[in-house]
Homo-oligomer: A and B are copies of this chain.
């Protein structure tokens, strides 16, 4: 955590900001180590104050040794009062706050408490770009979460039958993830068969998986706060004629993308690696989401590999971990998605996911 505080302090200095108030739970955990559900973190060049309530003060002291813990007590000592006291004690005339996390009401009540002597300045992209670059400890947790996810997919997918329902299958995957060591699910598991698979984010239903239909399975373990994310598309029995056309397109698009990812490539160019392949085949309209998203303490974080204008696009950098998940969705028939996590390296990318795929060649 000390390194992370050093980095965020450097980012503050670079932007000429004397302090940052962290309200995002993931950013708070990243910078302090504190895992409780309620807390605020104030970082200055010399101080790191962690505010939480009596439910969590003991945990905060244990998990966040680099921080000074201050206890919020309502109604006597609410957080806005404590923040104003800290601003006065530290001589802060401005405090940066997280524009994409702080609510309008929080901004209002904190500004009111700070009064005329200290301004709350909304800023974006201070901690998130740091989080996008994974350190050794983070990569170790991500690799373990990926390995648990791969093992759960491999073991359970062999036990599915045409009479298994989507919901039963989702529960089998969940149990395998948990018994395999996951703390919890990274997100609600998707098991979508036949026409249900035409929805990229379907809810598991009580319909049986059936024979010959595409079945999209999307699952991930969460471990030590870090998220894995894996999608596979399988068929029980003999697939229909359309299946292999669609599956081979998606598999080829994923191969193109993985071959092309490298530092310096911009996020909209990464998306185009797969999208251009679909467009050339006449299926561009059926790839209705982005190519991928970063994973870490959040299931969706930077980088966002998707269509954007070139000026909002960002370059990939070594140490980023992102999903690569092209998919095609055909209403009435179903869909195919294949998703791996990859680590951007100095020269290209390393595929982290090892769960088996259908042989598409």
A130, B178: Cα distance in complex, Å:
37
Once the chains bind, are B37 and A201 in contact (CB under 8 Å)? yes
CB distance from A337 to the nearest CB of B (A): 11
Q: Which of A9-17, A131-139, A247-255, A301-309 participates in binding chain B? A: A301-309
Does any Cβ of B come within 8 Å of A154's Cβ?
no
Once the chains bind, are B35 and A203 in contact (CB under 8 Å)? yes
Once the chains bind, are B201 and A59 in contact (CB under 8 Å)? yes
Once the chains bind, are A102 and B103 in contact (CB under 8 Å)? yes
In the complex, chain B residues whose CB is within 8 Å of the CB of A105: 99-100, 122, 124
Q: Enumerate A285-306 residues with CB–CB distance to B below 8 Å.
A: 288-289, 306
A215, B288: Cα distance in complex, Å:
50
Does any Cβ of B come within 8 Å of A161's Cβ?
no
Q: Which of A50-58, A79-87, A232-240, A348-356 participates in binding chain B? A: A50-58
Does any Cβ of B come within 8 Å of A107's Cβ?
yes
Once the chains bind, are A108 and B103 in contact (CB under 8 Å)? no
Does any Cβ of B come within 8 Å of A220's Cβ?
no
Question: Quick one: closest B residue to A331, CB to CB?
Answer: B58
A59, B111: Cα distance in complex, Å:
40
CB distance from A304 to the nearest CB of B (A): 10
Once the chains bind, are A101 and B99 in contact (CB under 8 Å)? no
Does any Cβ of B come within 8 Å of A282's Cβ?
no
Once the chains bind, are B74 and A307 in contact (CB under 8 Å)? yes
Once the chains bind, are A308 and B55 in contact (CB under 8 Å)? no
A306, B106: Cα distance in complex, Å:
20
Once the chains bind, are B104 and A55 in contact (CB under 8 Å)? no
Does any Cβ of B come within 8 Å of A142's Cβ?
no
Once the chains bind, are A75 and B107 in contact (CB under 8 Å)? no
Identify which of B122, B171, B202, B309 contacts A75 (C-beta below 8 A): B309
CB distance from A186 to the nearest CB of B (A): 13
Once the chains bind, are B55 and A200 in contact (CB under 8 Å)? yes
Once the chains bind, are A288 and B203 in contact (CB under 8 Å)? no
Once the chains bind, are B308 and A75 in contact (CB under 8 Å)? yes
Does any Cβ of B come within 8 Å of A345's Cβ?
no
A199, B59: Cα distance in complex, Å:
8
A268, B331: Cα distance in complex, Å:
54
Does any Cβ of B come within 8 Å of A260's Cβ?
no
In the complex, chain B residues whose CB is within 8 Å of the CB of A101: 103
Does any Cβ of B come within 8 Å of A18's Cβ?
no
Does any Cβ of B come within 8 Å of A324's Cβ?
no
In the complex, chain B residues whose CB is within 8 Å of the CB of A288: 54-55
Given A58-B199, A74-B308, 13 other A-B residues pairs in contact with their CB atoms under 8 A: A35-B203, A37-B201, A54-B200, A55-B200, A59-B199, A59-B202, A75-B307, A97-B104, A99-B103, A99-B105, A101-B103, A103-B103, A171-B178
Interface pairs A-B: 6 shortest CB-CB: A54-B288, A99-B105, A55-B201, A55-B200, A100-B105, A104-B122
**Interchain residue pairs with CB less than 8 A apart (26):** A37-B201, A53-B289, A54-B329, A55-B199, A55-B200, A55-B288, A55-B289, A56-B199, A56-B201, A59-B199, A59-B201, A59-B203, A74-B307, A75-B307, A75-B308, A99-B105, A100-B103, A100-B106, A102-B103, A102-B104, A103-B103, A103-B104, A104-B107, A104-B122, A108-B122, A171-B178
